[in-house]
């Protein structure tokens, strides 16, 4: 019995981790600036490629993953400085600009690197409970997802940067008048967002085939999580991921991955009819 | 009704514009007499996509709804045509398959649009929900390789795509080559003129008013949701028309014409051309398709990189769109020379402000 329960939890944790890791970066950028980064998938791809490249050079996997996360964060801040910064008052144009960037990056990678790169295997290690065998790495991913949420909680609720960031989020003009450097806050937030995308790619790099278009595998999940999550990462994205993970888990088990994805999409379309501003608007209102 | 052809919502009016229009049309009509059949087929291929671009122009430029789902409806109608044409057998039934597949796409647009528009989704989220639907459809069709995925005798065939449907046929006459080309020209003229009439009619004015300020339009007593849904259904239906024509043109369709990067293409065409005007979209999309096809012959990736660069350059340098911007410059220069009345200038000034929001 407990083995069945654990198996259920394991499946839930797997989907939940995927949703949180792929959506967290996108949600932060959307929450702070109201911008959806269409090149999110490409930052994930960047994280994955840097990780695999470093591992193939002999760097241990965890260090490669940290370096990949940092790389994606730094590239993100450069992109913010060069492109995204101009579009904070035109969110729809920021969508187009980042989509243009995404096209350029994906197709250039296809031109330069070619379609497939030698991957690295999933870290070995499995354990058995009852009659089932589980991969340890999947639980590591779940741990990372929880750690990301905890880390964001600490950054945004417990630090001085977090206070200023939340003030900027609520009323940018007022925060600026009170002396907050909103431009720098935006730049750092965008960097955190893309670093989280890089982390997602770094963590999933050992589990999947590396192709320049791999970002597309993540974007649907990240989009729908952010759509029903709304602007708040902790109160929106996390509950949205729990909710979607349950639907996804039930459908995946019974009907397979693709039906799980379709079911999730249908659930999201039904939910936006009822809660257009996302779960976070309801939870935040309750909280006040 | 034809008075509505010229109005404040469309650029290009008066004798000069329509003379140019007729000259281009005449050129297009006699083109197959001079060109070889391969080039005519290629031209017909460019024209297929124009409907999708015009539909997006209507939704985005006039209705203010940025849909990333043009290829979703393209795919639904494209696969719909294939399934129907195979199931109903070839011959004249293919015409019914064409019409039915577009209707299916419009019904799908009605359902998706109902949930989004009545749910109050707008702006960015409208884009990413439609894009999510598009990508999920592409993933779904990509994994239908097995023999269990069939509708009647029509195999979906996964990533390799569906094939074996008949082209459009009347009696025993296949509409291919220059016949298809003339059909495209006729359809484009009909759609273009109909859309001009639509956007300059009172319905079109409400659509534009909703783009400018939904609350204000609602306060004036219009149920803006119905107008938005109408716009979305028409715009998506045009994407469906492109899809059905595409399948009939090449007698195949694959999931890659739905997913990324195909989904970005209509956005690039319309953004580059100038989303606020049907004529600019028509001209710009054609030019881009022509250029894209020329480069694709050498390298598809390079052509797509160029599309990305164009999209980025458009939003950074000319958010109104390049073709529209150049068109405006020409018109300004012309009217300054002729010292024309101020009415058109006023109407244009009102439209210029819209993009600040």
**What's the per-residue H, E or C state across chain A?**
CHHHHHHHHHHHHHHHHHHHHHHHHHHHHHHHHCCCCCCHHHHHHHHHHHHHHHHHCCCCHHHHHHHHHHHHHHHHHHHHHHCHHHHCCCHHHHHHHHHHHHHHHHHHHHHHCCCCCCCCCCCCCEEEECCEEEEHHHHHHHHHHHHHHHHHHHHHHHCHHHHHHHHHHHCHHHHHHCCCCHHHHHHHHHHHHHHHHHHHHHHHHHHCCCCCCCHHHHHHHHHHHHHHHCCCHHHHHHHHHHHHHHHHHHHHHHHCHHHHHHHHHHHHHHHHHHCCCCHHHHHHHHHC
Section B175-196 average pLDDT: 91
Nearest to A92 among B66, B119, B313 (CB): B66
- CA-CA-CA-CA torsion sign (B278, B310, B49, B46): positive
Interface test with A, best of B141, B158, B272, B316 (most A CBs within 10 A): B316
Section B336-350 average pLDDT: 55
3-state SS class at B314: helix
pLDDT at B131: 93
Question: Highest mean pLDDT: which of B2-11, B36-45, B74-83?
Answer: B74-83
Is residue B351 scored above 50 in pLDDT?
Answer: no
Q: Do residues B149 and B270 both lie within one domain?
A: no
Is B35 part of any domain? no
Q: Do residues B202 and B280 both lie within one domain?
A: no
Q: Do residues B83 and B224 both lie within one domain?
A: yes
pLDDT at B43: 87
Count of structural domains, chain B: 2
Q: How confident is the model at residue B333 (pLDDT cuts 50, 70, 90)?
A: confident
Is residue B353 scored above 50 in pLDDT?
Answer: no
Q: Do residues B324 and B178 both lie within one domain?
A: no
* Contact flag A111-B124 (C-beta cutoff 8 Å): no
Q: Which residue of A has its CA nearest to B316?
A: A97
Q: Do residues B269 and B147 both lie within one domain?
A: no
Is residue B347 scored above 80 in pLDDT?
Answer: no
With contacts defined as CB-CB under 8 Å, which chain B residues touch A103? 261, 264, 304-305, 307-308, 311
Interface test with B, best of A269, A278, A280 (most B CBs within 10 A): A269
Smallest Cα–Cα separation from A227: which of A277, A281, A192?
A: A277
Q: Do residues B58 and B196 both lie within one domain?
A: yes
Among B260, B282, B316, residue at a domain's last position? B260
Contact B267, B68 (CB under 8 A): yes
pLDDT tens per residue across span A70-128: 999 999 999 999 999 988 888 889 999 999 999 999 999 988 887 667 777 777 778 88
Is B13 part of any domain? no
Q: Which domain holds residue B214?
A: 48-260
* Contact flag A103-B311 (C-beta cutoff 8 Å): yes
Q: Do residues B266 and B131 both lie within one domain?
A: no
**What's the rounded Cα separation, in Å, for the pair B119 and B115?**
6
Query: What global pTM score does this model have?
Result: 0.91
pLDDT tens per residue across span B164-177: 888 888 877 888 88
Section B143-150 average pLDDT: 85
Among B190, B225, B260, residue at a domain's last position? B260
Q: Do residues B280 and B310 both lie within one domain?
A: yes
Is residue B234 scored above 90 in pLDDT?
Answer: yes
Is residue A288 scored above 60 in pLDDT?
Answer: no
The burial class, CB within 10 Å (0-12 / 13-18 / 19+), for B27 is exposed
Is B9 part of any domain? no
With contacts defined as CB-CB under 8 Å, which chain B residues touch A224? 132
pLDDT tens per residue across span A121-154: 777 778 887 777 888 888 999 999 999 999 999 9
* Contact flag A276-B305 (C-beta cutoff 8 Å): no
Name beta bridge partners: B155: B150
Q: Which residue of A has its CA nearest to B67?
A: A92
Is B273 part of any domain? yes
Which residues does B33 contact at the CB level (< 8 Å), separation at least 6? none
- CA-CA-CA-CA torsion sign (A189, A190, A195, A198): positive
Summary mean pLDDT of chain B: 88
pLDDT tens per residue across span A223-234: 999 988 877 777
Is B23 part of any domain? no
pLDDT at A113: 82
Which residue in this structure is represented by tokens 């407990």?
Answer: A2
Contact A152, A24 (CB under 8 A): yes
Q: Do residues B171 and B313 both lie within one domain?
A: no
Pair type for strands B173-174 and B162-163: unpaired
- Does the predicted interface ipTM exceed a cut of 0.95? no
* Contact flag B316-A97 (C-beta cutoff 8 Å): yes
Q: Do residues B266 and B129 both lie within one domain?
A: no
Smallest Cα–Cα separation from A241: which of A49, A65, A16?
A: A16
Is B42 part of any domain? no
**What's the rounded Cα separation, in Å, for the pair B179 and B78?**
20
Distance from CA of A62 to the nearest CA of B (A): 31
pLDDT tens per residue across span B316-331: 988 888 888 888 888 7
Q: Do residues B152 and B267 both lie within one domain?
A: no
With contacts defined as CB-CB under 8 Å, which chain A residues touch B119? 272-274, 276
Q: Do residues B187 and B242 both lie within one domain?
A: yes
For chain A, the domains span 2-281
* Contact flag B119-A276 (C-beta cutoff 8 Å): yes
Is B243 part of any domain? yes
pLDDT tens per residue across span B249-299: 888 999 999 988 899 999 999 999 999 999 999 999 999 999 998 888 888
Cis status, amide bond into B24, omega within 30 of 0: no
């Amino acid at each position: 019995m407990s083995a069945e329960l654990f198996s259920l939890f394991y499946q839930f944790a797997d989907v939940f981790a995927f949703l949180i890791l792929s959506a967290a970066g996108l949600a932060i950028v959307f929450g702070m600036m109201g911008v959806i980064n269409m090149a999110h998938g490409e930052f994930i791809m960047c994280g994955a490629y840097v990780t695999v490249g470093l591992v193939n050079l002999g760097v241990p996997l965890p260090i490669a993953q940290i370096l990949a996360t940092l790389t994606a964060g730094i590239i993100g801040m450069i992109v913010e400085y060069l492109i995204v910064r101009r579009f904070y008052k035109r969110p729809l144009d920021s969508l187009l600009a980042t989509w243009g960037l995404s096209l350029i990056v994906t197709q250039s990678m296809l031109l330069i690197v070619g379609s497939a790169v030698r991957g690295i295997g999933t870290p070995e290690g499995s354990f058995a409970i009852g009659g089932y065998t589980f991969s340890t790495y999947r639980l590591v991913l779940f741990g990372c997802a929880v750690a990301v949420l905890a880390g964001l909680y600490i950054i945004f609720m417990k630090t001085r940067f977090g206070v200023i960031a939340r003030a900027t989020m609520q009323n940018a003009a007022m925060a600026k008048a009170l002396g907050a450097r909103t431009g720098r806050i935006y730049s750092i937030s965008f960097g955190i967002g893309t670093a989280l995308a890089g982390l997602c790619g770094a963590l999933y790099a050992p589990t999947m085939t590396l192709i320049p278009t791999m970002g597309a595998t993540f974007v649907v999940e990240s989009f729908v999580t952010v759509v029903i999550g709304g602007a708040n990462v902790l109160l929106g994205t996390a509950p949205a991921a729990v909710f979607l993970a349950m639907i996804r888990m039930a459908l995946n088990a019974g009907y397979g991955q693709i039906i799980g994805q379709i079911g999730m999409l249908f659930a999201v379309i039904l939910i936006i009819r009822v809660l257009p501003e996302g779960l976070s608007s309801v939870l935040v209102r309750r909280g006040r | 009704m034809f008075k509505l052809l010229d109005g404040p919502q469309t650029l290009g009016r008066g004798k000069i514009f329509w003379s140019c229009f007729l000259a281009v049309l005449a050129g297009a009509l006699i083109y197959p007499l001079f060109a070889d059949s391969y080039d005519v087929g290629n031209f017909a291929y460019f024209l297929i996509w124009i409907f999708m671009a015009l539909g997006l122009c209507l939704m985005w430029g006039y209705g203010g709804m940025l849909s990333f789902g043009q290829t979703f409806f393209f795919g639904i109608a494209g696969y719909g045509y294939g399934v129907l044409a195979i199931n109903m057998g070839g011959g004249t039934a293919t015409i019914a398959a064409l019409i039915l597949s577009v209707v299916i796409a419009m019904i799908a647009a009605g359902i998706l649009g109902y949930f989004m528009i009545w749910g109050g989704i707008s702006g960015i989220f409208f884009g990413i929900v439609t894009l999510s639907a598009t990508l999920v459809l592409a993933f779904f069709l990509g994994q239908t390789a097995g023999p269990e995925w069939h509708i009647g005798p029509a195999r979906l065939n996964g990533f390799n795509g569906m094939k074996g449907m008949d082209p459009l046929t009347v009696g025993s006459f296949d509409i291919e080559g220059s016949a298809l080309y003339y059909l495209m020209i006729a359809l484009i003229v009909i759609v273009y003129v109909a859309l001009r009439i639509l956007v300059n009619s009172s319905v079109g004015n409400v659509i534009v008013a909703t783009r400018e300020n939904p609350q204000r339009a609602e306060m004036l007593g219009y149920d803006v949701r119905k107008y938005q849904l109408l716009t979305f259904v028409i715009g998506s239906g045009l994407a469906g028309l492109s899809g059905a024509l595409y399948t009939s043109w090449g007698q195949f369709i694959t999931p890659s014409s739905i997913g990324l990067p195909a989904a970005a293409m209509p956005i690039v065409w319309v953004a580059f051309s100038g989303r606020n005007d049907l004529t600019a979209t028509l001209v710009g999309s054609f030019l881009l398709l022509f250029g894209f096809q020329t480069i694709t012959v050498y390298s598809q990736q390079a052509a797509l990189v160029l599309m990305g660069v164009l999209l980025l350059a458009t939003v950074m340098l000319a958010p109104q769109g390049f073709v529209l911007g150049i068109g405006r410059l020409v018109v300004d220069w012309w009217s300054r020379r002729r010292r024309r009345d101020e009415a058109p200038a006023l109407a244009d000034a009102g439209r210029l402000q819209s993009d600040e929001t």
